[in-house]
């Protein structure tokens, strides 16, 4: 029962987005913390790959031939959160690290915006649910 | 999410350690004897940072730590002061006094860099706090 309530709307998708954004935030925080380590190479998660996997999962879920209420969106296979890739920053500094702090901070705030947007939408979904439960507007 | 806080904190600790070492270098820029009273100029110290995998998460995030504090190998500065009580008595540098190899400019640039790095870690902590409080708003 509650499975179908939470699966009928976009909550599982938003949940994945929030999860991904939080993991990516940890990794970008790692880059900032290690900015003065000689030879440290910046790390990142592949956002495009994540979007691909997520949209595939949504397609699969919306397929009318699939059995109903399949559960949460599956992004486990080829989980983009495991694809930790070197971030391609270009300039290699003399101490063999390749972090440009401006870009890292920009990525951090982009990631934060994505995270907070997903949460804001999720919150309004839950508000709708609670209105439906209390039968009041 | 909480691991991001730990990681930024490890960055703060590492940068504070750097600043402490720099202030030690500047404070000792005229020390001619060590703590045990032996004659010999103070040697400038450098903090060496490395990635700390103790805090590592499955997705590859990791902290930073101070690997070691190493002494600078640069020759001490020598000044011609034959009347100085610690002047070298014989050999090639007779009449010279050895002063610490602390380069003020280098130390100040390092200090500036360390405090900026510290600030950027504080910025990330602010972001983490913001994201966490947004997440907690779901409960409200």
Residue B54 has pLDDT above 90, yes or no: no
Residue B78 has pLDDT above 80, yes or no: yes
Cβ contact, residue pair A32, B120, below 8 Å: yes
B51 interaction partners in chain A (CB closer than 8 Å): 34, 37, 40
pLDDT of residue A1: 45
Q: Which long-range contacts (CB under 8 A, 24 or more apart) does B30-37 make?
A: B30/B99, B30/B100, B31/B100, B32/B86, B32/B97, B32/B98, B32/B99, B32/B100, B33/B86
- From the CB of residue B39, how many other CB atoms can be counted at a distance below 10 Å? 11
Range of the domain at B101: 1-139
Q: Are A119 and B138 in contact (CB under 8 A)?
A: yes
Chain A and chain B share a number of CB contacts under 8 A equal to 105
The whole-number average pLDDT for the span B113-133 is: 94
pLDDT of residue A65: 67
Domain ranges of chain A: 1-135
Cβ contact, residue pair B8, A29, below 8 Å: yes
- Chain B residue at shortest CA distance from A120: B134
pLDDT of residue A112: 93
pLDDT of residue A48: 84
Residue A126 has pLDDT above 90, yes or no: no
Task: Return the higher-pLDDT residue of A58 and B19.
Answer: B19
Average pLDDT along chain B: 89
The whole-number average pLDDT for the span A27-31 is: 90
B31-48 pLDDT, tens digit each: 888 888 888 889 999 999
A50-87 pLDDT, tens digit each: 888 888 888 877 776 665 555 555 555 556 666 666 66
The whole-angstrom distance between A66's CA and the closest CA on chain B is 31
The whole-number average pLDDT for the span B70-84 is: 88
A81-112 pLDDT, tens digit each: 666 666 656 677 777 777 788 888 899 999 99
Least confident of A19-23, A34-38, A91-95, A109-113: A91-95
Q: Are A29 and B7 in contact (CB under 8 A)?
A: yes
B121 interaction partners in chain A (CB closer than 8 Å): 32-33
Task: Return the higher-pLDDT residue of A75 and B63.
Answer: B63
pLDDT of residue A25: 92
Least confident of A28-42, A87-101, A102-116, B115-129: A87-101
DSSP helix, strand, coil percent of chain A (3-state; round to 5): 60, 5, 35
Cβ contact, residue pair A34, B60, below 8 Å: no
pLDDT of residue B87: 86
Q: Residue A127 class from Cβ within 10 Å (0-12 exposed, 13-18 middle, 19+ buried)?
A: exposed
In total, how many domains does chain B have?
1
**How many Å apart are CA A51 and CA A81, to the nearest integer?**
11
What is the ipTM metric for this complex?
0.77
The whole-number average pLDDT for the span A128-133 is: 86
**How many Å apart are CA B131 and CA B125, to the nearest integer?**
10
Helix (H, G, I), strand (E, B) or coil at A58: helix
- pTM (2 d.p.): 0.79
Q: Residue A91 class from Cβ within 10 Å (0-12 exposed, 13-18 middle, 19+ buried)?
A: exposed
pLDDT of residue B117: 94
pLDDT of residue A67: 57
- Residue A108 in tokens: 């951090």
**How many Å apart are CA B45 and CA B101, to the nearest integer?**
10
């Amino acid at each position: 029962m509650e499975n179908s309530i939470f699966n009928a709307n976009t909550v599982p998708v938003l949940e994945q987005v929030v999860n991904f954004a939080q993991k990516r935030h940890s990794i970008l925080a790692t880059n900032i913390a290690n900015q003065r380590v000689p030879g440290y190479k910046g790390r990142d998660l592949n956002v495009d790959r994540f979007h691909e996997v997520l949209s595939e999962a949504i397609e699969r879920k919306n397929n009318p031939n699939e059995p109903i209420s399949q559960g949460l969106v599956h992004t486990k296979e080829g989980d983009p959160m495991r694809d930790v890739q070197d971030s391609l920053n270009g300039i290699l500094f003399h101490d063999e690290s390749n972090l440009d702090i401006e870009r890292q901070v920009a990525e951090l705030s982009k990631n934060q915006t994505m995270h907070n947007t997903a949460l804001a939408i999720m919150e309004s979904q839950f508000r709708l649910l609670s209105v439906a439960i209390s039968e009041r507007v | 999410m909480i691991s991001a806080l730990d990681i930024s904190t490890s960055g703060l600790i590492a940068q504070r350690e750097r600043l402490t070492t720099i202030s030690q270098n500047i404070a000792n820029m005229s020390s001619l004897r060590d703590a045990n009273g032996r004659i010999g100029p103070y040697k400038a110290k450098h903090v060496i940072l490395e990635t700390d995998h103790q805090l590592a998460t499955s997705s590859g995030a990791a902290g930073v730590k101070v690997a070691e504090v190493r002494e600078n190998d640069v020759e001490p500065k020598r000044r011609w002061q034959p009347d100085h009580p610690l002047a070298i008595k014989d050999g090639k540098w007779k009449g010279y006094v050895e002063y610490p190899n602390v380069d003020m400019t280098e130390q100040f640039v390092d200090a500036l860099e360390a405090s900026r790095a510290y600030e950027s870690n504080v910025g990330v902590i602010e972001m983490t706090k913001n994201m966490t409080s947004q997440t907690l708003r779901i409960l409200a």
